[in-house]
Amino acid sequence: MKLFLAGLLAENNSYSPIPTGLGAFETEGIRRGPASGVDPGGYLSAIETVHRVVSPRGWEVVEGLFAAAVPLGPIRQPVYEQLRDELLDNLRAALPVQAVMLMLHGAMTAEDCLDCEGDLLERARSIVGPEVPIGVELDLHGHVTRSMVQHATLMVAYKAYPHTDIDERAAEVARLTIDTAERRIRPVTAVWDCRMAGSWPTTREPLKSFVGELQALEGRNGVLSVSHAHGFAFGDVPEAGARLWVVTDGDEALATRLAKELGLRLWTLRHALHQPPLGMEAAMRRVAELPPLPGAGPIVVADMADNPGGGARGDSSFALQAVLSFGIPNVALGGLWDPGAVQLCFEAGLGSTLALRVAGKSGPTSGSPVDLRVTVRALAENHEQTAFGAKSPLGASAWVSTAEGIDLVLISRCQQVIGTDLFTGLGIDLRGKHAVVVKSMQHFHAAFAPLARDVLYADSPGLLTADIAALPFHHRDPQFWPRVADPWSGTAP
């Protein structure tokens, strides 16, 4: 018995001016089988998990293409087609297979394709035929389209945000897919459109408890899996928005009833879920007003709108300008994407003091550059951070400090902050800081919250503005909450 395993992941921001080219995938590492020697890390770190689940059951795993890209704008069409077709050629070469498992994102778009996952799954289905099960692992920030549901046998989304359960969900998909192939179960899926948009951390109530309720239903009374996808608010596609779906063992009526019940339950929680962030100025004013508490840990501030994990460039100056404006000392800020500034630091050398212009270089949503006089405290040719259980490269990086007591981590590879070692790996003691500002929306939380005195979420005029209702839409239905109070007007919920 043979399982074909492959992955193609990208989260594409419709509003980013920077397209996703082949280099965005190559930078992260394209894995073409175990012999390639490429450790994909990150989202694809669950490959070994699938092997561990499947092999004891006597199944052979045949790997195809694995590729993932840092979020940017839509993929260049020829690049998407090249990677898609390579994966599908791998599938053809592996035939006959008794099962297929794909690691996808859900929010992948290309210049001429607004539903890349649906397109890929339709083509994969045409290759293996109607009887071979296709199991899919999705990011909870993915879109869930009719084409995806039609052509996949089952889909399971991460339940945690930050995504601390990628391996766990991969194991779940592998087990369910193999059980289907061995005719132990017969999955059927029903989806409920929640007509909501947002991004809600599962570390906060009420979503934390709601996710617990979903998990409590699984494995009982014919319910195989329950998933809730938030969707990707910055993906302007026809089937955008939050979805909830239930997979049952052959009971379509149960799946339909339960998906609707849970979807409407989520709808009742919408106001509690919607916790708007502070404006950047308000967040930094609060940081400035809070007295230092030695030993209490830092106040961690998430610079949400400049999150590279959603397509921003990580080089906006709004947070840095606010820190300077309020005169807040003993602050660490990172990772600020500025390859040019890093190069100048290397040329100046360790311990040198120089005038340095940082940030604000990618475009209007990055703000204006900031001129500082800095001292180079540490340099690393190949800096990295811990992310999703693996090491994520940050490229050549520098730690510089200012006379005002600000420590900046400058990086050459655009990445959101996930691991504390982005700072500590260069020698910065976070526990002694009054505040730490991270270029991230939520994935920082797992590593930073345990050492934080408090966690603040801050919005700015960056690419990932919290005011998603004001985004210009060309493809998605604008009837969604919180843009409108009742998106079901004229129809029965």
Claim to verify: residue 344 and residue 260 sit in the same structural domain: no
* Mean pLDDT value across the chain: 94
Domain span at residue 442 reads 278-465
Claim to verify: residue 242 and residue 111 sit in the same structural domain: yes
**Percent of the chain clearing pLDDT 70 (strictly above):** 98
Q: pLDDT of 243-291, one tens digit each?
A: 999 999 999 999 999 999 999 999 999 999 988 899 999 999 999 999 9
Claim to verify: residue 269 and residue 389 sit in the same structural domain: no
**Strand arrangement, sheet containing 99-104:** 31-32, 60-68, 2-9, 99-104, 134-138, 154-157
Q: Residue 235: inside a domain, yes or no?
A: yes
Tell me, what CATH number does 162's domain have? 3.40.50.2300
Q: pLDDT of 50-89, one tens digit each?
A: 999 999 999 999 999 999 998 999 999 999 999 999 999 9
- Cα-based angle 62, 67, 69 (whole degrees, multiple of 5): 165
Claim to verify: residue 267 and residue 394 sit in the same structural domain: no
Q: Residue 393: inside a domain, yes or no?
A: yes
Taking a C-beta distance cutoff of 8 angstroms, is the pair 329, 404 a contact? yes
More confident residue, 371 or 46: 371
CA distance 21 to 294: 47
Q: Residue 486: inside a domain, yes or no?
A: no
Claim to verify: residue 43 and residue 21 sit in the same structural domain: yes
Taking a C-beta distance cutoff of 8 angstroms, is the pair 302, 444 a contact? yes
Q: How many CA atoms lie within 13 A of 273 on its CB side?
A: 22
**Percent of the chain clearing pLDDT 90 (strictly above):** 86
Claim to verify: residue 117 and residue 234 sit in the same structural domain: yes
What are the tokens at 257? 């009833």
> For 221-284, where are the E strands, in sequence order?
223-229, 243-249, 278-279
240, 273, 306 - which closes a domain: 273
Taking a C-beta distance cutoff of 8 angstroms, is the pair 445, 203 a contact? yes
For 40-49, give one letter per residue: b (16+ CB within 10 A) or e: bbbbbbbbeb
- The answer to whether residue 492 scores a pLDDT higher than 50 is no
Number of domains, the chain: 2
Distance of CA 369 to the CA centre of its chain: 27
Q: Residue 482: inside a domain, yes or no?
A: no
User: What pLDDT is recorded for position 364?
Assistant: 86
CA distance 161 to 201: 5
Q: pLDDT of 416-436, one tens digit each?
A: 999 999 999 999 999 999 999
Q: Residue 332: inside a domain, yes or no?
A: yes
Claim to verify: residue 360 and residue 393 sit in the same structural domain: yes
- Helix (H), strand (E) counts: the chain: 14, 18
Claim to verify: residue 85 and residue 147 sit in the same structural domain: yes
Taking a C-beta distance cutoff of 8 angstroms, is the pair 375, 351 a contact? yes
257, 273, 289 - which closes a domain: 273
- The answer to whether residue 442 scores a pLDDT higher than 70 is yes
Instruction: Give how far Cα 355 sits from Cα of 327, 348, 399, Å.
Output: 19, 10, 14
Question: What burial class does residue 217 get, using C-beta atoms within 10 Å of its C-beta: 0-12 exposed, 13-18 middle, 19+ buried?
Answer: middle
Q: pLDDT of 308-345, one tens digit each?
A: 999 999 999 999 999 999 999 999 999 999 999 999 99
Task: For tokens 């996703």, name the residue.
Answer: 20
**Per-residue pLDDT band at 3 (split at 50, 70, 90):** very high
Q: Residue 244: beta bridge partners?
A: 192, 228
CA distance 149 to 160: 22
- The answer to whether residue 491 scores a pLDDT higher than 80 is no
User: What pLDDT is recorded for position 41?
Assistant: 62
Closest CA to 336 of 311, 354, 356, 360: 360
Q: CB count, 10 Å around CB of 20? A: 27
CA distance 190 to 207: 21
Taking a C-beta distance cutoff of 8 angstroms, is the pair 170, 137 a contact? yes
Closest CA to 441 of 210, 267, 232, 284: 232
Give kind and range of the element (H or E) at residue 252.
Answer: helix 252-268
Claim to verify: residue 132 and residue 167 sit in the same structural domain: yes
Taking a C-beta distance cutoff of 8 angstroms, is the pair 139, 103 a contact? no
First to last CA, the chain: 44
What are the tokens at 245? 């779906």
Q: pLDDT of 396-421, one tens digit each?
A: 999 999 998 999 999 999 999 999 99
Q: What is the mean pLDDT of residues 453-473?
A: 91
Q: Residue 484: inside a domain, yes or no?
A: no
Q: pLDDT of 191-250, one tens digit each?
A: 999 999 988 999 899 999 999 999 999 999 999 999 999 999 999 999 999 999 999 999
Q: pLDDT of 359-384, one tens digit each?
A: 999 888 899 999 999 999 999 999 99
Claim to verify: residue 227 and residue 284 sit in the same structural domain: no
CA distance 198 to 202: 12
Contacts 24+ apart (CB under 8 A), 213-219: 214/159, 214/262, 215/159, 217/258
Q: Residue 231: inside a domain, yes or no?
A: yes
Taking a C-beta distance cutoff of 8 angstroms, is the pair 139, 15 a contact? no
β-strand 435-438 against 454-459: which pairing, if any? unpaired
228, 250, 273 - which closes a domain: 273
CA distance 112 to 475: 13
Claim to verify: residue 195 and residue 321 sit in the same structural domain: no
Claim to verify: residue 219 and residue 282 sit in the same structural domain: no
Q: Residue 25: inside a domain, yes or no?
A: yes
